[in-house]
Amino acid sequence: MGVEYDNTPMREPMTDNHNRRTFLKLAGGTGALGLTGLAGCAGNSSNGGGETGGGDTITLGGSMSLTGDNADLGRLYKDAYQETIDRINENGGVEAGDGNTYELEMVLRDDGTDASTSRSIYQELIDREGIDYLLGPYSSSVTLPASAVAAENQKPMVEGGGASPEIFSQGNEWIFGLLPTANKYAKSYFDMALAQDSPPETVAILSEDDTFSQSTADGARTKIENEGLEIVVDETFPTGTSDLSTNLGRVRDNDADILLLCAHQQHNIILANQMESQGVNVDAAMGTVGSLNESFKGEVGANGDYMYGPTSWDINANFDDPVYGGTQDFVSAIENNYDYTPDYHSAAGEAVIMTFVNAFESVDELTPTTVRNTIRDSDPFSTVYGDVSFDDSGVIAKNMLIRQWQPDPGLQTVYPSSVAQSDPIYPMPDWGER
């Protein structure tokens, strides 16, 4: 089959081997950038759906934040998807339960973290391209309307980038999430702080005005109340805010013991830099999303030291995986081919693909309904992310770990103690002592 290439520059370093295996094309309809991964030319490729009978291609389609403030995180999913699809295809494809062998193909379009754009993309992928199996977008605010499209059209969607409980409380039987829901993100942070010799008594919460962040803050408030702690600052700021100095001034003036930022990476960067300028000295500070990324630390440098973040995955874990062999093989593949170290977003992205693959291999007939039912009812299966299975609401059952940026040796898992690499540095030093 013929392939049309364009000269659009790649957004990330890629090896010659990856340049051979992947290409970028301009996607029709929305004018967005589409990514399609092909390991070889198929003789009788399906039209993107997957209900091919004897066809040889299954297409997975979705939207992702490939530009804008969340592009760094969207890239992690895209690269993990692509690496995993390429490996599966190079190893002979998917031996499905219907007796056929399929290559995987991906269409991934840029939604810029815009909910309406994402919704239009998914509807177009279904209506115009006949895609039956959907890769979810990044962020809860985008995933919620996108999952509604999946339900309206009865197409299974697997996602690793949306964790708001609202996504999974609608009775939607077509959405499956690989992140613990947002209301659980801060629980382990408070458990960690309360286990210290000088536990906190007062808490400050700053939260971004979006679905995920508000759900995270709601869960934190419930935990705080249950533990008998006092909230001394509780403020919400608009998503587009570029200055948190006023909010942080109130955290300082109210003498909060610990700080929780419920927001995405860009606001974690702002927080880490402005905590110093505002003289905010707390025993602990955690950002819920993005504070563990290398790109975050690269932006803030030493200002990011001692910051905490939650994660559903530890790079030092070693889980068996049918594609990579184990977690460390996946880590090496991403480092070698994309020139960065993966984090939990990457691992969840791999598990998204493997959730579909596990279902494809198990069904007698390849249809959206049989695949949905198989995902829902499947026993735990192995991925680089750990064992995956879903509860009745479609959410993975998984506890969060807490990691901390330490000056030496760097990013460390510090809670729970059963998997900790080191003890937390608690309380964190005042700015004048660093």
Asked if residue 427 and residue 362 are part of one domain, the reply reads no
Q: What mean pLDDT comes out for the span 376-382?
A: 95
Omega before residue 368 within 30° of 0, cis: no
Measure CA 343 to chain center.
Answer: 9
Asked if residue 208 and residue 260 are part of one domain, the reply reads yes
With CA atoms as reference, report the closest residue to 313 among 293, 285, 296: 293
Asked if residue 227 and residue 133 are part of one domain, the reply reads no
* Residue 5 domain flag: no
What is the DSSP code (8-state) at residue 381?
Answer: B
Structure tokens at 135: 């890769």
Asked if residue 30 and residue 165 are part of one domain, the reply reads yes
* Residue 391 domain flag: no
Q: Name the band, by pLDDT with cuts 50, 70 and 90, for residue 316.
A: confident
For residue 196, give the 3-state DSSP assignment: coil
Q: What is the pLDDT of residues 220-248, one digit of tens each?
A: 999 999 999 999 999 999 999 999 999 99
Q: What is the pTM of this model?
A: 0.72
Specify the pLDDT at position 49. 52
Domain that holds residue 43: 16-180+316-377
Structure tokens at 387: 């064992």
Give how many domains the chain has, as a whole number. Answer: 2
Asked if residue 173 and residue 189 are part of one domain, the reply reads no
Q: What mean pLDDT comes out for the span 407-417?
A: 92
* CA within 13 Å, CB half, 62: 32
* Residue 165 domain flag: yes
Among 52-61, 72-81, 87-96, 376-385, the range scoring the smallest mean pLDDT is: 52-61
* Residue 228 domain flag: yes
Among 2-16, 351-365, 417-431, the range scoring the smallest mean pLDDT is: 2-16
Residue 116 has pLDDT above 90, yes or no: yes
* Residue 9 domain flag: no
- CATH number (domain holding residue 69): 3.40.50.2300
Single-letter amino acid code for the residue at 112: G
- How many angstroms separate the CA atoms of 110 and 367, rounded? 26
Q: Name the band, by pLDDT with cuts 50, 70 and 90, for residue 110.
A: very high
* Residue 387 domain flag: no
Exposed / middle / buried, residue 227 (Cβ in 10 Å: 0-12, 13-18, 19+) = middle
